Each structure stands twice: as structure tokens, then as C-alpha cells.
């Protein structure tokens, strides 16, 4: 059983299914289990950590939440605030689009559009949060958020008969990575390698690893806007020293093709941010890492975190394909 955040208090996330994928297993050359975070109430894993943070803040007398988000974190904050009966303001960058704004408003959030990328929206959110009784809800860089995300690994431990040989996930700001690393330590799986996927143009984790310190990308040029933190969380860089984290960067076109292939294979539509992780399996990256001696041969099983994403429609997928010349 997944521990609950507090006595008598039910978490806002669900225990998501773990399913074997035959198409992904065939592509990766090993058994692939999907951890389906796309079926969470808000469409992504974000509700785990953000729900936990909001519940803890409410216990301490929070009167209003302020969140900055490219979309999914804001939806999680808005959902948690509604559950708690508290008001929330979500600041989104202009890149988020009208569909995201509408979804946030439908959940009862006050929405403000500020800046072109998340980093600029976050500055505005921090200004708004100066008001008395307000609590800032960061999308990825907070210990309570990471703590909430550890529940994902505990559920894997409950669901799987044996320890996986690798976990594949996408990295944006690094919150999911930080939570998974903490969760692996909790269940005694700290030797399981993590393969962290990003797209070029949103590769702040890869850039930090190469530099050996935090660096800021000049701009977010990837279509995977939900990976769009110009600077990864400092905790993500520490995670790479505590666990075996293999960074992989894919092209936007590979991520979008993977989204389309996954829709055909598994009848689920996910965002390009999730497509980055899927692309590692569809493009033979696991086999390449095995060939380089960076992953064991054979691999018994691999877990793919299908992080999901609520900000995607079929029309948007078509537009992305057209933009990238994939028609």
C-alpha cells in the first residue's frame, strides 16, 4: 500500500496502473512495463508531488496558492486547491496556449499570462506570492514535491514481481527525477539505472551534466514546452551523483513521431515531453546503450514512466507534425 500523506488524509493522486507493452517491448528488445501516469486525475504525474505539497501547506494555515506552470503543474495546483477549498492563481507563459488557460479556469483557478517561457512566468508568480498567507507552489523544485513523487516508486515495488533493470523517464525541471531517486532509495532499489530523456532545445539537465554545474539555456526552442525549464533544479544534478543516471537527448521530430506511434500502439495521446522518453525505446537507444556497455545485456525488464500531459489534442499533434515537416 502507498502511505498516505497524513493521518486520515487521502492523497489526491491515484495508484496508477502498471501494464506490459508488447509494441514497446518489441521495439526495445526487452520486456517494457508502462507506469501510466497519464491516467492521473490531472493527466500527469504532477498531482503526486504538488498534491502532497498543497495538503501540507493547508495544514499549516495557507490561505491562497500561487503557481507557475507551463500547464501540467498548474493543473495539479488548481485541482489540489479545489479539493482543499482554497483559491489559487496560476501564472502561465504565453507558450502554454488558450486550451491550457481554459482548463485551468474550469478548475476554478485565476489565470495570469506572463512572459514567453516558464522561467519568466515564475518570476511573476514569486512577486504575487509575497502577499500575506500565500504559498508558492513550485512545479518541480521543492522537497515536498519530490517526497510526493516517491509514491510512484513504492507503487512499482508493490506491482512488480522483480526489480527492473532500468527506469526510463523524461526530465524537465528535474522534479520527477528527484522523486524517483528518493523512492529508489526508500525501497532499496538505488542500484537501478535511470535513463533520463530530454529534447534538444530543452536540454538543461544534459547541459548541467556536461558543465558539472547548473547552467541556463539561452532560450527554450524545443516543441516539448513542458520540458521547458531553462535551468534544471540543483537537486537533479545531485541525483546524478547519488544514482546511476544516463542522460539522453532526442530531436523534436523523434519525440513527436514517438507520440504518434504510441497513439497507434497503445491508443493513448501524450505530450511531446513524454514522447522524449518514448523515443528512447522506439529509436533503439536502449540497444545502443547496451552496445556501449552502459546498460546490462540482456535486460530483464524496463519501466517506462508515461508521464502523460493534459495539454495535447489531435489537432495540436497534426500542427506539430506540420511544423517539423513530418507530414
Q: Give the span between the Cα atoms of 290 and 278, in whole angstroms.
A: 17
Q: Give mean pLDDT in consecutive 10-residue pieces for the chain, a chain of 327 residues.
A: 51 97 97 97 96 96 90 93 96 84 93 86 88 85 95 97 96 93 96 95 91 89 75 91 94 95 96 95 96 93 93 87 86
Residues 52, 48: Cα–Cα separation, whole Å: 6
Architecture of domain 46-136: 3-Layer(aba) Sandwich (3.40)
Tell me the CA distances in angstroms from 174 to 113, 171, 314, one per residue in order: 23, 5, 27
Classified by CATH at the fold level, domain 18-45+142-322 comes out as Rossmann fold (3.40.50)
Cβ atoms of residues 255 and 279 within 8 Å? yes
Q: Report the distance separating Cα 294 and Cα 98, nearest Å.
A: 42
Is the pTM of the predicted complex or chain greater than 0.75?
yes
Q: What is the pLDDT of residue 117?
A: 79
Task: Sketch the domain layout of the chain as residue ranges.
Answer: 18-45+142-322, 46-136
User: What confidence score (pLDDT) does residue 227 get?
Assistant: 64
pLDDT at residue 6 in the model: 43
- Domains 18-45+142-322 and 46-136 agree in fold: yes
Residues with Cβ within 8 Å of 80's Cβ and at least 6 positions away in sequence, in order, are 12, 47, 50, 51, 54, 55, 65
Please report the pLDDT score of residue 254 as a whole number: 96
Amino acid at each position: 500500500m502507498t502511505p498516505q500523506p497524513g493521518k486520515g488524509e487521502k492523497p489526491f493522486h491515484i495508484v496508477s496502473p502498471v501494464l506490459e507493452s508488447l509494441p514497446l517491448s518489441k521495439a526495445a528488445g526487452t520486456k517494457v512495463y508502462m507506469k501510466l501516469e497519464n491516467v492521473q486525475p490531472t493527466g500527469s504525474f504532477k498531482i503526486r508531488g504538488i498534491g502532497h505539497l498543497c495538503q501540507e501547506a493547508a495544514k499549516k494555515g495557507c490561505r491562497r496558492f500561487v503557481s507557475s506552470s507551463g500547464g501540467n503543474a498548474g493543473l495539479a495546483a488548481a485541482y489540489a486547491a479545489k479539493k482543499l477549498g482554497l483559491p489559487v492563481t496560476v501564472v502561465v507563459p504565453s507558450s502554454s496556449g488558450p486550451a491550457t488557460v481554459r482548463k485551468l479556469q474550469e478548475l476554478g483557478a485565476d489565470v495570469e499570462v506572463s512572459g514567453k517561457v516558464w522561467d519568466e512566468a515564475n518570476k511573476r508568480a514569486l512577486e504575487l506570492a509575497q502577499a500575506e498567507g500565500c504559498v508558492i507552489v513550485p512545479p518541480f523544485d521543492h522537497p515536498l514535491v519530490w517526497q510526493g513523487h516517491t509514491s510512484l516508486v513504492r507503487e512499482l515495488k508493490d506491482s512488480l514481481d522483480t526489480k527492473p533493470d532500468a527506469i526510463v523517464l523524461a526530465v524537465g525541471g528535474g522534479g520527477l527525477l528527484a522523486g524517483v531517486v528518493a523512492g529508489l532509495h526508500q525501497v532499496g532499489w538505488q542500484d537501478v539505472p535511470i535513463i533520463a530523456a530530454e529534447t534538444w532545445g530543452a536540454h538543461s539537465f544534459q547541459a548541467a551534466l556536461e558543465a558539472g554545474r547548473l547552467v541556463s539555456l539561452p532560450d527554450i526552442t524545443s516543441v516539448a514546452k513542458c520540458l521547458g525549464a531553462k535551468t534544471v533544479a540543483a537537486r537533479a544534478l545531485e541525483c546524478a551523483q547519488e544514482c546511476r543516471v544516463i542522460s539522453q537527448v532526442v530531436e523534436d521530430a523523434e519525440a513527436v513521431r514517438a507520440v504518434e506511434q504510441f497513439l497507434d500502439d497503445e491508443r493513448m495521446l501524450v505530450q511531446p515531453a513524454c514522447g522524449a522518453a518514448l523515443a528512447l525505446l522506439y529509436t533503439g537507444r536502449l540497444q545502443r546503450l547496451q552496445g556501449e556497455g552502459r546498460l546490462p545485456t540482456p535486460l530483464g525488464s524496463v519501466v517506462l514512466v508515461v508521464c502523460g500531459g493534459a495539454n495535447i489534442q489531435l489537432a495540436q499533434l497534426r500542427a506539430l507534425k506540420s511544423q517539423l515537416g513530418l507530414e
